[in-house]
Structure 1
Amino acid sequence: MKLTIKEIAKKANVSITTVSRVLNQNKEGVGKETRKRVEEVIKEYNYRPNAIARSMITKNTKTIGLVIPDIRNPFFSDLARAIEDIANKMGYSVFLCNVDNQLKVLERYLWLLIEKNVDGIIFSSSDSNLNDGVQKLLKKNNIPVMFIDRGDDDSEFNGVFIDNTEAGYLATSHLIKLGHKKIGCITGPKTIWNSNHRLKGYKLAHEQVGLKIDRNLVREGSYTMKGGYDAAKVLLRENKDITSIFALNDLMAFGVYQAARELNILIPDDISVVGFDNLSYNQILTPRLTTIEQPIKKIGEVSVEYLIKQIEQALMIEDSIYLKTKLIVRDSTRAVSKD
């Protein structure tokens, strides 16, 4: 039998206001014994409050939107899972919006999230999508927002990121220490903030040891396996003296493996490869991929925790949060032969 809040109040011999306070976890105005009695009735009759009705009272829907650029990328599916897990533990549900790197899709989803009256949004999308119109829309509707993974140096919103420049430097320095001087780099799209910062780290590592940067060794990819494959084919065919490739995400590194195999180039004997993300698939590759590990679970946890602080306590973070990365050395890199 499905009871109303009025019937719950009658069975517990309390007012409707008291039941409402218990349901909304309001700690004031309800004694310990009274709260226990109401909770026992709620449990006995398996009462579930109407979320829409409750949100009209509390102005809180206990929902957050998650906007990501491409769910097919395992990095974002792992990140979405981490965000959903911690959000559920904190009593929130997640609306997942996959915008497929399209501005029109992004705008449609943002309006949908606004209409759904979500309490906040966790946002990761291509920088070309972070235009003035989108930021004005979010600000106008006074929606708490946390950016993750992909940001914008000029954005008014803070977020949870890694130091992409430091990570790019770390990956490239590893190859330089192994004696590599002809290091190819497959970037993400030029419109994406984190790709530009990883490329900056690649250049910084060269400059620090006095290595000249060969522009022919830098190719733009698309953060997809095909993008890595196409760029690697060009690099390996046009640069016979290249000894290593740094792909700015693991998916593109997988494409490098495919291109090398088709060209009968052995990894790491003929060419060393470094990726970025440390996806779970890396260890089943042959050879296992050396890569930069992003703290995916931590990014999800911190972004949800800080977003909910904005929602429930109106606590704004003054600056973006940067989490540490680390180099995971496996079998796809080796020292350059001195023969």
Structure 2
Amino acid sequence: MAKRKSGHVTLSDVAHAAGFSVSTVSIVLSEAPLSRHVAATTREHIRATAAHLGYHPDAFARSLRKRSSRTIGVLAFDLSDPYCVPIVRGIHSALQSSEYLPMVLDAQTERRLFDEHLRLLLERRVEGVIVIASWVFDEANLFADVRKNSVPIVIIGRDLSARGVSSFLLDNEEGGAQALRHLAGLGHRRIAVITGPHEMFDSKPRWLGVERASEECGIALDPLLVQQLPSFGDAEHGFEGGREIAKRLVNTGRPFTAVLAFDDLTALGVVRGLAEMGIHVPQDCSVIGFDDVLPARVATPAITTIRQPLRSMGEHAAQRMLERLAAPQQARERARVHKAAPQLIVRSSTALYRKSESSKGRRKRLDSR
């Protein structure tokens, strides 16, 4: 066979090797209705030749003919964040049995990249866009460009149903309340709280849940023990923020026996920071996180957390997108918001508060500051 200009095996290559015209080969390999008029031995020979050469249909050319890319764009705010990984896997799982291929892009928590990637997805003629974005951003450009192109959109991690977008997220307020109730149920009364950055959509509702539960449990939160994570550019900043805030909390001199962290990576940072201050978890101080990402499960101690059904959220968002694409006439129907229920997962980073117990006096030191 003559050397091909492209590395891909083409219909012409198969036709040349099989000894039949390109049109006959195309009819057989595409299983067009006319293929029934081709002799069975010929069909078998063409298919065997194609398999031997490693031929695969040109999906791009087919999409041009049908004016359909069969592609769904997935725009994630930060693929380095363990929060995003199970969501993307859920999306892949839901799309696996469909004819749609996900095109995943990473905005790396940069607004500029978010806009550029969105533009790229529209240029590639994706038929739908699933956005994973729990951080707050200006939606103006997003809606203007997507809606002008009549591309359906679904969002995970934020409630944009008021803007006509079906949204999938956790009941963050209830999750925050569950975390506080767990610590209170273990007997902790002096609880430090690390809230999320102001850019994160989850920050406010989780804090509202913590406040509500503290009032229900009769616990007065010390304002000096309520610290906010700084703005961050990637997942590692959450860990470092938790580490530094843990040290700062100890240095305030205010008593506390438990820390409620914004998320699991922050909780892991808190455990590290406390250890560097000579304070052991959970012997001296209990720590609870949020999300239930993989690092929280495999850490020592394993982190007690509020679980988000992240993979399930991804699956449901993708299924919703497939429904939209299957019934485009319903594209303008009222958007829905789907709030998943949080689940408390108890592990070894939290323990009963016992004033009489101490680890070389450290519990006593924290208790009496």
TM-score normalised to structure 1 length: 0.86
Greater CA radius of gyration, 1 or 2? 2
Q: Which amino acid aligns with 1:159?
A: S
Mapped contact 1:8–1:42 kept (Cα < 8 A): no
Mapped contact 2:192–2:221 kept (Cα < 8 A): no
Q: Equivalent residues in 2 for 1:270-289 (5 A)? A: 270-289=284-303
How many Å separate the matches in 2 of 1:96 and 1:257?
33
Deviations 1:207-240 (A, max 9, x none): 2223223322221114621121122222222153
Q: Which amino acid aligns with 2:140?
A: D
Q: Which amino acid aligns with 2:87?
A: L
How many Å separate the matches in 1 of 2:282 and 2:128?
46
Residue 61 of structure 2 corresponds to residue 53 of structure 1: yes
How many Å separate the matches in 2 of 1:139 and 1:239?
54
Mapped contact 1:67–1:124 kept (Cα < 8 A): yes
How many Å separate the matches in 2 of 1:163 and 1:208?
18
Aligned CA RMSD, in angstroms, stands at: 3.0
Superposed displacement of residue 198, structure 1: 1.2
Residue 336 of structure 2 corresponds to residue 328 of structure 1: no
Aligned residue in 2 for 1:291: 305
Q: Which of residues 306, 318, 323 is equivalent to 2:335?
A: 318
Deviations 1:25-46 (A, max 9, x none): xxxxx599789x7997885424
Mapped contact 1:11–1:41 kept (Cα < 8 A): no
Deviates more, 1:79-88 or 1:64-73: 79-88
Deviates more, 1:280-289 or 1:201-210: 280-289
Deviations 1:100-155 (A, max 9, x none): 21111111111111101111111022543243222222222221111112344754
How many Å separate the matches in 1 of 2:146 and 2:46?
38
How many Å separate the matches in 1 of 2:313 and 2:170?
9
Residue 149 of structure 2 corresponds to residue 132 of structure 1: no
Q: Which of residues 75, 89, 113 is equivalent to 1:81?
A: 89
How many Å separate the matches in 2 of 1:303 and 1:71?
17
Deviates more, 1:100-109 or 1:277-286: 277-286
How many Å separate the matches in 1 of 2:29 and 2:326?
21
Deviates more, 1:201-210 or 1:48-57: 48-57
Cα 1:33–1:101 shift into 2, 3 Å:
same
SS in structure 1 at match of 2:155:
strand
Residue 317 of structure 2 corresponds to residue 303 of structure 1: yes
Q: Which amino acid aligns with 1:228?
A: G
Long gaps (5+) in structure 1: 24-29
Cα 1:338–1:62 shift into 2, 3 Å:
same
Residue 144 of structure 2 corresponds to residue 144 of structure 1: no
Percent of aligned pairs with the same residue?
28
How many Å separate the matches in 2 of 1:197 and 1:42?
61
Cα 1:19–1:267 shift into 2, 3 Å:
same
Long gaps (5+) in structure 2: 1-8, 357-369
Aligned residue in 2 for 1:122: 130
Aligned residue in 1 for 2:363: none
How many Å separate the matches in 2 of 1:287 and 1:265?
13
Deviates more, 1:137-146 or 1:111-120: 137-146
- Deviating above 4 A after TM superposition, structure 1's stretches of 4 or more consecutive aligned residues are 4-9, 30-35, 37-43
Aligned residue in 2 for 1:252: 266
